[in-house]
Structure formats: C-alpha cells, structure tokens
Amino acid sequence: MTSNLYESVLDTKSTKTGKTGEFGLYWSEVKSLLILDSPNIKGSDKIYGFDMDGTLVNPKSGAKFPKNRNDWVWILDDDVVVEKLKKEHENGYKIVIFTNQAGIKKGKTQRGDIEGKIMDLSKELGFPLQAFVATTEDVFRKPNCTAWDYMIRHHNGGIKPDLSKCKYMGDAAGRPKTKNEKKDFSCGDRAFALNIGIDFQTPEQFFLGKDPRSEFDWGGVDPVALVNGFEGKKQPAELSVEIPDEQELVVLVGQPASGKSTFAKRHFVSKGYEWCNNDIYKGNAKKVLKVAKEALDSGKSVVLDNTNPSAAKRKEILAMIKGTKIKARAFYLDTPRDVTAHMNLFRERVQAVRRIPDVAYRSYAKNFEEPSTREGFESVTKINFFPIFPTDEHKRLFLHRT
C-alpha cells in the first residue's frame, strides 16, 4: 500500500457535466463525487461546512426521505436559517455542503433531484453555494475527509484554510435516544469534523445557540487508543516468519480486511512464493486453485490468502498436495471484528479499493472454524493484530475515525 494511491484520487481533475446556472454555478464530477462550484465563489481561509438533510433541510412531505427535488423545507424558520447563513457569508465565511447520497448509485435517488435541490437552496439564500456530493459508499463518503481535501486542493483558490476558523455542522452526532429525542443514525458528521481537525456543532448549536447534548457514542473502534495501546511494545515473535528450504503451501485464514494480503506480501510474496487469492482473479475461486496447483506442480511454493473460514474449504485446498511431500502451514489472523471494520475503510483510503460489504463478514462468521493441525497442516500459527505503518501518511489515515 502506498499513500500515492490516495494522492492520485486527490490529483484527478473533475469534468464539467452540466450547463451554467444562476450565480455562474455549474456541476462537475470526479469519479463518484459530484461538485457544485462557481467562478463567483471566492476561496477563503474561513470555511463553514454543512451536512444537508437533517441539518439544513427536512422533507416538506414529512416522509423519512425526500421524494423529489421540491420536497424540502428549511430545518427551522427561514428567518433563522437563511439570515444566519447570509450573515456568515457576508462575514467572509465560505459556505459549503458535504452530503452523502449513496441512494444515487443504488438507484433510489435521482441525481438530478439532488443537484437541482442544492441549486434551489442557493437561489433562496441569494448567494452561490459550493457543494460536494458523495454518490456511493467509497473513499469520498463521510466520515472520510477526501471530499474536504479535494475541495482545498482544487476549489478554494489556492488558499489554505485556518482550521481554527472552520467548523462543520451536522445531525449525525452519535447522540443516544432520550425521552424527547431520537437516536442519531450515526456519528459520521462528528467524525468527519474530527478527521479534518475542525470544530463540530449540531444544527441546534449553530442556528439556535443551544447547549449540546454531552452524551454521544463514536461507534466503532477508537483508532488513536488502539495505536497508543501498542506504543512501546515490541512486534510479537510470531510475526517473524521463518521460510523453509523446501517447497511448501501456506494457507491464510482470517476475516475480510484482517491484514492477510499485507501479511502474505511481507513474508511470502517477497520471498518468491506464488500469490493466489480471489481479488487477483476477480472472485473466480476455481481459477485461484488452478493457478495454485500449477505453481505447486512446477515446484514453486504458494501462499493462498483468501478468508478460508471452514475446514471443508481448507480440505479442498489441502487436496492439492495430497500424495506429495509438500507440507502445508496455516496462519490464522485473529484480528478483532471492530478492528477489521476499521481496516476495511482504512484500506479504501490508501488502496483506493471498494469497501467490503457486511454480508461478507456475516458469511465468514457463520462458516468459521479455527484451523487445526488435525486437518493436515504441519503447523498452525495464530497472528494477533499489531499495527505496522510503512509511512507516516498511512498512520495519519489509519488514525481517522471510520
């Protein structure tokens, strides 16, 4: 993994997709990110970012989700929201919307409705809004701060923001259910602000000056506490893998995003082993076994790093060396579930790959049987999680909340 992959996303130039509208506003896109900008929007070192649904507007129909472009109303009275935003705009703050709209990719939301609605909001406010719309569940989706980073690099006039003067407002604040309030659906907006390094406020705080509810749950693993827990500790002995002189078959076992491929590359691929997994052959399990068998028959050692959760699956793999003198070792990466969930989104940032869906984790858990020498392995080594960062940039991205 290299940070250049993340940088390549940020360096990709957007393509204009629509006609110019009021205030010179126009839509463009870069990969899955939609961008609303205008030559009339000046770069600023003071930026106020906003979520949209549940923060600036609610469905006018009262439905859970807006039905169309016109199904919206300001979250509070016009004179509260509009006047507040106008005032901050006049004070030199750039007003920017960052919104997750995965329904576009899923076909549940019309792209034109979202684009049109944001332009309508701008018209009612009387000044051009900048907006960044994440249309699917990828590296641009909050709480990833990729959209913010892209905005600074390409859509802020070359001005570096003063983070002490910036804020982000959103309703996904991780607040629990109370007698009068519903539970927040996530803590994504609060985490987005944390990852950027700016202050966070709820809509009630920003527009009404209300004291924030102090209780909230980040959800998921705390990456800072996780990494700090390993500070000063030596790398476990089991991570120093011995390579035998004779040919062998290595089988890795572990949840998705538990670190198997990194482990395989570090200890075996770098030593000349044939590397076989479903990712390389686009999910074609038969192709994986075919290539592995051909490599073994040619005298090469092989490392197979799919999830391999069940004894039955591993029996199919071990059948390749039945009747030969080739020995097999298993390495079981026992990475906790909350850590693999974090790793799933972390590798999305540094590898620019799609995240693994929850169904893959449920399937693994349903079929999992811890590997044993009784299956025919010469040895089984359990590998506990230990963070190793090839660059400072990798560590910085790992410490972001997911």
Q: What is the pLDDT of residues 147-162, one digit of tens each?
A: 999 999 999 999 999 9
| Residue from 242, 95, 210 nearest 156 by CA | 95
pLDDT band at 355 (very low <50, low <70, confident <90, very high): confident
Q: What is the pLDDT of residues 2-28, one digit of tens each?
A: 445 678 888 999 999 988 899 999 999
Mean pLDDT across the chain = 93
In the block, residue with structure tokens 């004070």: 91
Task: Retrieve residue 238's tokens.
Answer: 């089991």
Cα–Cα distance, 202 to 172 (Å, whole number): 8
Q: Is 226 left (phi over 0), alpha (psi -120 to 50) or beta?
A: alpha
Q: What is the mean pLDDT of residues 312-334?
A: 96
- Identity (one letter) of the amino acid at 375? E
The answer to whether residue 238 scores a pLDDT higher than 60 is no
Which contacts qualify for 230-234: CB closer than 8 Å, 24 or more apart?
A: 230/386, 230/387, 233/386
Mention the CATH class of domain 237-398.
alpha beta
In angstroms, the Cα distances linking 79 to 48, 82, 124 are 19, 6, 12
Which of 14-18, 141-145, 282-286 is the most confident on average? 141-145
Listed by start position, the domains of the chain span: 4-208, 237-398
What is the DSSP secondary-structure string of 253-311?
EE-TTSSHHHHHHHHTGGGTPEEE-TTTTTT-HHHHHHHHHHHHHTT--EEE-S---SH
pLDDT band at 285 (very low <50, low <70, confident <90, very high): confident
**List of E strands, 10-129:** 15-16, 26-30, 33-37, 47-50, 57-58, 73-74, 94-100
**DSSP designation for 50:** E
Three-state DSSP class for residue 38: coil
Equal CATH topology for 4-208 and 237-398: yes
- Identity (one letter) of the amino acid at 124? E
Task: Retrieve residue 249's tokens.
Answer: 């078959």
Adjacent-strand bridge partners of 134: 33, 100
- Report phi then psi at 205, rounded to 5: -65, -50
User: Is 4-208 CATH 3.40.50.2300?
Assistant: no
In the block, residue with structure tokens 């506003």: 25
Question: Helices in 177-284 by DSSP H: which ranges?
Answer: 188-196, 203-208, 223-228, 260-267
Cα–Cα distance, 356 to 360 (Å, whole number): 7
**List of E strands, 85-235:** 94-100, 130-134, 167-169, 199-201
- Identity (one letter) of the amino acid at 292? A
The answer to whether residue 174 scores a pLDDT higher than 90 is yes
pTM for the complete prediction?
0.89
